[in-house]
Amino acid sequence: MDETPLIEMTKISKRFGAIVALDNVDIDFRRGEVHSIVGENGAGKSTLVKILTGYHTTYDGCVTVRGQIVRFQGPRDSLNAGIGCVYQERNLVPALSVAENIFLGRMPSSFPGLVDWKQVRREAVKQLEMLGLNFDYEQKVEYYPLGMRQMTEIARIIFSGAEVIILDEPTSALSIAERNRLFEFVQRLKKQDKCIIYISHFLEEVLDVSDRITILKDGRKVNTYACSDLDKDTIIRLMSRRFVKTVEGVRQRAVIGASDKPVLECRAVTVTGNVVDASFKVHAGEALGLYGNVGSGTTGLAEALFGLRAIEGGEVWLEDKPLKKISPHLASRLGIRFIPEERRSAIWLGQKLSRNISLANLQTLSRFLIHEKTETSAAQKVIGVMDILPPDPHMLVEWFSGGNQQKAIVGRCLLDPPKVLIVCEPANGMDVGAKAGIIQKLWAIKEQGVAILIISSDPEVIVETCDRSLVFRRGALCAELHGDQISKEELVRYA
């Protein structure tokens, strides 16, 4: 590895009004290395990346690339300097094909104004093969699960010729096989002298893939370490306001008797392209996990139960009544809440945190007009319970870190607890402390008598949150685990 910095960021500070996001941070990145940045939600990781990629143009400090001082005026400047970023939130055009997304903004032409489609197909195949992907490059992105969309975006960045590749929570939507494929590819990029900046809340992955690790805490740099000098507990201690160590099986799991009536029941439910003949029950005060790798069909099943997809066969019962022609409006009216996998689908950008919290509780807060004082009071309650930082109900929701946005999305359910809460990937992209906090709040919601369905491809979330777990593989329910049977090893084995 060449120890001459490819990029140096010196004394970087950034404020958002009274909020200090970064405070005098020094960091450098080198060719042929994987340099990970870790820290709790709100520690400054995303802000640092957005400066490096030209999204934030006003800041204090100095950035040099290949020894030259730069101040990017937009993402295009950053890309032209050889810096590409694959963000946690997808930046693809769903209605375009995989190949078209890979070439987005750089379509080759045979004649002026005409796209050279032969070259598009040829290069798309080449890029996908290099990544070890074998899915149809002509298929529209919207028909693929999140894991494949993620890999498409990585292929696009690599094709741009970037020397510096920023991976922001790259495995949050990937199956175990896809994660391993990504890690193999990262090692290949290192051998090509690329610089990879890796941001992840999965600390085991960080330790597996990194050469150096920089820890941020409350907008400040703690230090940069050789990976060999750290372990998971040390990283948690250095980056956290408090020491957090989750222990499997500490909580008493709910025990459901044979006579207990279910709140929600699926009888041989089939959702085309997702699951076939899925039958299960979930009871009041129980957290039932639906575990499976990307493509297992669990997310599609969850969406169908809220009316976002059509149920082609079988029956869904809520308490003692069958649900016919489920729609989101009907599901909400009957007491079913749904938290989607993609945070952007659940928040209203450009609006304050308080407005986002009240949006999900309109009928509870007011029959007619909602006063700002009522919104603020409701938001302050959620902020306090969920430990949202910064604790400002009037701040725009997009200024909060992804983890704090997720806390708000889950927390707003506390204002009017539903009968059934369906949560997809509740800890997606969250640091250890925030993840533990979300799990704790889900248990608190469950203890109010709410039946919770937790859909996750992260076995740790299922182990730490659920009373029972169903394991799905390729659309089929293949195992049901109870109590002490729920372990990471068993979940992975059946999936």
Please report which confidence band the pLDDT of residue 54 belongs to, taking 50, 70 and 90 as the band edges.
very high
pLDDT for position 346? 81
Asked if the domains at 5-239 and 264-494 fall in one CATH topology, the answer is yes
Q: What is the pLDDT of residues 339-398, one digit of tens each?
A: 988 777 788 888 899 888 887 666 666 666 677 788 888 889 889 888 888 899 899 988
Q: What is the pLDDT of residues 434-448, one digit of tens each?
A: 777 788 888 888 888
Quote the mean pLDDT of the chain: 85
Beta bridge partners of 337: 421
pLDDT for position 246? 44
Give the CATH number of domain 5-239; options: 2.40.10.10, 3.10.310.10, 3.40.50.300, 3.40.50.80: 3.40.50.300
Residue 150 clears pLDDT 90, i.e. is over it: no
pLDDT for position 310? 92
| Pick from 102-111, 136-145, 285-294, 443-452: least confident | 102-111
Percentage of the chain beyond pLDDT 70 is: 90
pTM across the whole model:
0.62
Mean pLDDT throughout 422-438? 80
Q: What is the pLDDT of residues 201-247, one digit of tens each?
A: 788 889 999 999 999 998 999 999 999 999 988 988 888 754 444 44
Please report which confidence band the pLDDT of residue 120 belongs to, taking 50, 70 and 90 as the band edges.
confident
Fold exhibited by the domain 264-494: Rossmann fold (3.40.50)
Q: What is the pLDDT of residues 244-297, one digit of tens each?
A: 444 444 456 766 655 578 999 999 999 988 999 999 999 999 999 999 876 788
Domain boundaries, the chain: 5-239, 264-494
Residue 18 clears pLDDT 90, i.e. is over it: no
Please report which confidence band the pLDDT of residue 173 belongs to, taking 50, 70 and 90 as the band edges.
low
Please report which confidence band the pLDDT of residue 106 belongs to, taking 50, 70 and 90 as the band edges.
confident
pLDDT for position 257? 59
| Residues 124 and 278 sit within 8 Å (Cβ to Cβ) | no
Place of tokens 């997310």: 299
